[in-house]
A = this chain, B = another copy of it.
Amino acid sequence: MIDATLELAAGGGFDAVQMRDVAAEAGVALGTVYRYFESKERLLLEANLEQVEALRLRLSERPPTGESAADRVVDVLRRATRTQTRRPEATAAMVRALGSARREESDAVARVSEAMTAIITGAMHEGDPSDRDRSVARVLSQVWLSSLIGWVGGVDGPEVVGDDLERAARMLIS
């Protein structure tokens, strides 16, 4: 079902992910989709979580390059941004799910946000992050989300996301 979701999302964004189509594409009944995912948002959030975890895996295999912590964080964020902007429709669908999540989906939203924060602290340096590291990473993940919302909403171009993140990272990590 998640594969079907990603495929439909990549094709036409949020609106193209229609629950009936997800069910058909996955070869199950509509009720079965709702047995496992309580809403369309959750379905997209779980798909998003898979993507973020995949990113985390790729990063652990091929760690970020860069001399300073700031450089490494910028590298990670730009790589992530490039991955997202390469599949604009799929990203738009998942970001929209993030932005319109209800209370019932708060656990999924929290997992996505924690995964992103962990990716950023991981790029800073080896070992446990300090409190300040965690605060910085949290801010960056918030900037990340808002930038993506601006991009998928057509407010900014795709390059703005990376630039915003780089500026924020360099201001926060000295």
Residues of A within 8 A of B (CB): 96, 98-103, 105-106, 109-110, 113, 132, 135-136, 138-139, 141-143, 145-147, 149-150, 153-155, 164, 167-168, 171-172
Contacts and interface: CB of A to CB of B under 8 A. Distances in A.
Contact of A153 (B105, B155, B164): B105
9 contacts: A96-B100, A99-B100, A99-B101, A99-B149, A109-B153, A139-B143, A139-B164, A141-B146, A142-B145
Copies in the complex: 2
Contacts of A141: 146
Given A167-B139, A171-B136, A110 B155 contact: yes
A143 to B, nearest CB: 5
Contacts of A149: 98-99, 101, 145
A150 B59 CA distance: 26
Contacts of A103: 153-154
A102 B96 CA distance: 9
A48 to B, nearest CB: 14
Contacts of A146: 141-143, 145-146
Given A135-B171, A136-B171, A168-B139, A153 B106 contact: yes
Contacts of A106: 153-155
Contacts of A142: 142-143, 145-147, 164, 168
